[in-house]
Structure 1
Amino acid sequence: MSTNQSVLIAGGSRGLGLLMAREFLGLGYAVHICARDAEELERAAVDLRRRGGTVTARVVDVRDAHAVEAWVAATYPDGTAPDVALHVAGIIQVGPWDAVEPAMTDECVDTMTKGAAYLAWAIVPRMRAAGRGRIGIMSSIGGVISVPHLIPYSMAKFGAAGLAYGLQAELSGTGVTCTAICPPPMRTGSHLHAQFSGRPEAEYAWFAPAASLPLASLDGTTAARRIVRAVLAGRSVVGPTPLPWLARRVFGLALGLTIGALGLAGRLLPRGKQPPRAGLDVRDRASRTVRGLTRLGDRKARHTNENHRSVGDPDL
């Protein structure tokens, strides 16, 4: 299949971003990805180019508004617009509030909320001028219900969802749409690049299986396919399972009860004040049982460029 359409994916070097890039290549789109880590980005570009089609990759820090604008301008030097623009870059931090430091919340908000806004500032005028365009902003079920031991992550994801909802309303009638992407836990291998603080091994022991087991997480390839379809359809929000829909309604109808239930669950989670460590490092000290429970997630990581140590772009 061949088209003249193109997609920008901020955070397309691994995880869900890479899976969505593959989906768009399969639909015949030219794919333009960015990420922070050059080596990781090059591995993703090689993977995508092997599948055929047009692929470009550029090192960009989405926390830098000027860098995002420069990426868009370099990709579309004639002032035109992409058909689709997605902000998927993000970071997962797992640990109790006692272990959270200001720099950690800054990293989450700067990457997942401000980074999405910077991309929107760069592309919305172009899409308005073209009278068409599809925008997708990655939030999460954590942007619907704030979960203990994921507070900086939820802060940023609530902001991303608010940005997406506001843009969808403000762009009404222009031919441009914005979709808030609010998936449940997905099996993409992201637990290996999550940051675990407090008691890292204990935090990994509950989070990594939840991101790996079939009944607890959605297969990343399936999620990417459903999300791409929803963004192209111009939907205001996509799940892509009933769980976020149910969570939104339960949270809205029984806010106090829901927070109380989460509080009870939070009391069972580990406490500590150790600084954050990457999941790839924590896994080396995980028990045999935990490794067994995360086998599917680890296998997925080998398919999504998540099984390499780097200090680069923390795509989800």
Structure 2
Amino acid sequence: MNTKNKNNLWWLAAGAGAFMAARAVYRKLTAYDFKYKVVLITGGSRGHGLVMARLLASEGAKLVLCARDETELENARMELAGQGVSVEVIPCDVTVQEQVNSMISQIERVMGPVDVLINNAGIIHVGPVTEMDVKEFEEAINLYYWAPIYTTLAVLPSMKKRGGRILNIASIGGKVSVPHLVPYSASKFAMVGLSEGLRAELKQYGISVTTANLGLMRTGSPRHALAKGQHEKEYALFKIMDSIPLFSESAEATAKTILDALRHGDAEVTTTLPAKVGSLVHGISPELTTEVLALVNKFLPGEGGIGTNRAKGYESESDLSMSGLTKTTQKAAFKNNEL
């Protein structure tokens, strides 16, 4: 390599380094400060929602957690209160627009307008699509599409005046449709489209919308999954995949990553290496991706078992699902109010 080429490479490297340093400084200076901000987390009573609540509480946010289960909400409130955190909890079914509107009105009366909305409430159905009923698709689309619409429309009047942040917790399943998770994936695709459209339109009001495409994480949530068909096998496989570090990451690591994306107003963030690779490959060749997944599907549990009936994860435990392979998920369930 001659001297001229060496000099060019040096200047190129120096320029790239300067750009990265300037970008880091800019992001730090423009980062959103959660301190004293009113933050509403749907599905905030357990699992990933509760983990995010802990992190936001440590930054001084004024938290509001909503969920359907009052006992879970109270457990979350007591935990955070025990750490000196002031938090409001409101029972609410976010798939019912009237309840959402009432909740937002209550928050605005008691705490002031919502500054940050995190659409996190979730449900998951596991099993062959041939064992799914319309009910599963309706439940998924109501929670992952209509619920974020209801919450977003409810906070928009005040956010348009003041600006704010919205974080939509989507999934790699909203980028790549995974076998035996079709209702979940289809509704997450809808959520991703909604989130991207909202970002484009709401930026003019100073409202930043971030889409989080999550890979597998160890929250302990499989206990609340709804399994169909050969439910014990479906659940055991789901729980094992959720537990393996190679395929999943801790709920704390995921929460930190996506909250940083929200802090900096990023359009999108994808967690875990498998999710990033899957999204990239699917973007290049959807046909290749679906062919590979069709092959994977041949090794998944088939029809049978309880058929179109369904069982909760904790009703589907077996020796395999309670083995050492799932130890990390079991520990997470205890830690994150999933029991």
> Cα deviation per residue 1:32-76 (whole Å; 9 max; x = unaligned)?
010001111111111111122220001000100111111111001
- Aligned counterparts of 1:40 and 1:2: Cα–Cα separation in 2: 25
Q: Which residue of 2 aligns with 1:174?
A: 205
Q: Establish whether residue 51 from structure 1 lines up as the match of residue 83 from structure 2.
A: yes
List alignment gaps of at least 5 residues for structure 1.
308-316
Gap change, CA 1:60 and 1:235, over 3 Å in 2: same
Match of 2:45?
13
Question: Residue in 1 aligned with 2:126?
Answer: 94
Higher relative contact order (CA 8 A, sep 6+): 1
* Matching residue of 2:17: none
CA contact (8 A) 2:38 2:112 kept: no
1:236 to 260, 267, 270: 267
Q: Give the structure 2 partner of residue 311 of structure 1.
A: none
8 Å Cα contact 1:33-1:58 kept in structure 2? yes
Query: Secondary structure of the residue that 1:52 maps to in structure 2?
Result: coil
Partner of 2:244: 213
In structure 1, the partner of 2:315 is 281
State the match for 1:254 in structure 2. Answer: 285
Residue 63 (structure 1) aligned with residue 95 (structure 2): yes
Q: Distance in 2 between matches of 1:151 and 1:104?
A: 9
After superposition, the C-alpha distances for 1:111-155 in whole angstroms (9 at most, x for unaligned) are: 11111111111112211111x200001110100100010000001
Local SS of the residue matching 2:39: strand
Q: What code does the residue aligned with 1:87 have?
A: N
Quick one: percent identity of the two aligned structures? 35
> Which segments of 5 or more consecutive residues in structure 2 lack a partner in the other structure?
1-32
Deviation at 1:227, TM superposition (A): 1.1
TM-score computed with the length of structure 2 as normaliser: 0.86
Q: CA deviation at 1:289?
A: 7.0
The aligned residue for residue 202 of structure 1 is: 233
Return the TM-score normalized by structure 1: 0.92
Cα drift, residue 275 of structure 1: 1.3
For 2:208, what is the secondary structure of its paired residue?
strand
Residues 76/292 of structure 1: CA separation in 2 closer, same or farther (3 Å cut): same
Per-residue deviation, residues 253-273 of structure 1 (Å, max 9, x unmatched):
111111011001011111122
Q: Match for 1:23 among 42, 55, 58?
A: 55
Q: Is the 8 A contact 1:144 1:244 kept in 2?
A: no
The amino acid across from 2:57 in the alignment is L
Distance across 2 between alignment mates of 1:109 and 1:262: 23
Are the aligned partners of 1:209 and 1:290 in contact in 2 as well (CA < 8 Å)? no
* Cα distance change of structure 1 residues 79 and 121 upon mapping to structure 2, 3 Å threshold: farther
Distance across 2 between alignment mates of 1:253 and 1:143? 16
1:38 pairs with one of 48, 64, 70: 70
- Counterpart pick for 2:166 among 135, 139, 157: 135
| Other-structure match for 2:324 | 292
Distance, in Å, in 1 between the alignment partners of 2:321 and 2:277 is: 31
The match for 1:304 is: 336
Q: Distance in 1 between matches of 2:321 and 2:311?
A: 20
Runs of 4+ in 1 over 3 A off after TM superposition: 241-245
Q: CA RMSD in A?
A: 1.7
Secondary structure of 1:139 counterpart: strand
Deviates more, 1:161-170 or 1:70-79: 70-79
Taking structure 1 as reference, are residues 264 and 87 closer, same or farther at Cα in structure 2, changes over 3 Å only?
Answer: same
Q: How many residues align?
A: 304
